[in-house]
Amino acid sequence: MITRAAKLLLLAGIALDYTLVVFNNLTDFDSNYQFVRHVLMMDSTFPDNHGHWRALSLPAFHLAFYFCIIAWEIANTILLWWGVVRLLRALRLPATAFNAAKGVPVAALTLSLLMWLVAFLSVGGEWFLMWQSHTWNGQEEAFRMFAVVGLVLLILLHPDAEGQP
């Protein structure tokens, strides 16, 4: 039971984090919008790099990217909390039922990993060369989130068995 509770609590921790991220993005829209805007404009990357042709300077692109990120985070938040409810309902059921309840949480954590890997590390970090910026570089935070979510996913994927603590 303790192993199942640990999986449930770790998933709830990720869901809480996403809830706070969405709350912050909605209540302090401009702070993270500025981050997205500067990354897409590439205005703080190395001045002599040959990738500046990739920069997007139109505010419509900045808003579109930011709205997509927020929508992705909202979808993830909903899926994560749905997964928490599914695991909570299956907490005292047989191992096969608890394992079956992991589908939504696994999908939510995978969606989260893809956000950090694709949107932040690949698109932001490599395509828009975010790694070159001292001011608008979120790669360390993105990697931290990728690692935390990945660790929780690995723990959750470990199959539960009858009689497990």
The phi and psi torsions of 151 (rounded to 5 degrees) equal -65, -45
Is 163 within a domain?
Answer: no
Structurally, how many domains does the chain consist of? 1
pLDDT per residue, tens digit, the chain (165 aa), is 899 999 999 999 999 999 999 999 999 999 999 999 999 999 999 999 999 999 999 999 999 999 999 999 999 999 999 999 999 999 999 999 999 999 999 999 999 999 999 999 999 999 999 999 999 999 999 999 999 999 999 999 999 887 665
As a whole number of angstroms, the distance between CA 155 and CA 44 comes to 38
Residue 138 belongs to what domain range? Answer: 2-157
Q: Collect all residues with Cβ–Cβ distance below 8 Å to 93 and sequence separation of at least 6.
A: 101
Identify the pLDDT of residue 10.
98
Identify the pLDDT of residue 163.
67
3-state helix, strand, coil in the chain (%, to 5): 75, 0, 25
As a whole number of angstroms, the distance between CA 1 and CA 21 comes to 30
CB 105 within 8 A of CB 156: yes
Is 92 within a domain?
Answer: yes
Identify the pLDDT of residue 164.
64
Is 102 within a domain?
Answer: yes
Count of other CB atoms within 10 angstroms of residue 124: 25
Identify the pLDDT of residue 162.
78
Is 105 within a domain?
Answer: yes
Identify the pLDDT of residue 1.
83
Identify the pLDDT of residue 79.
98
* CA atoms within 13 A of residue 95's CA, in its CB half-sphere: 12
Is 162 within a domain?
Answer: no
Place of tokens 């927020």: 70
pTM value surpassing 0.75: yes
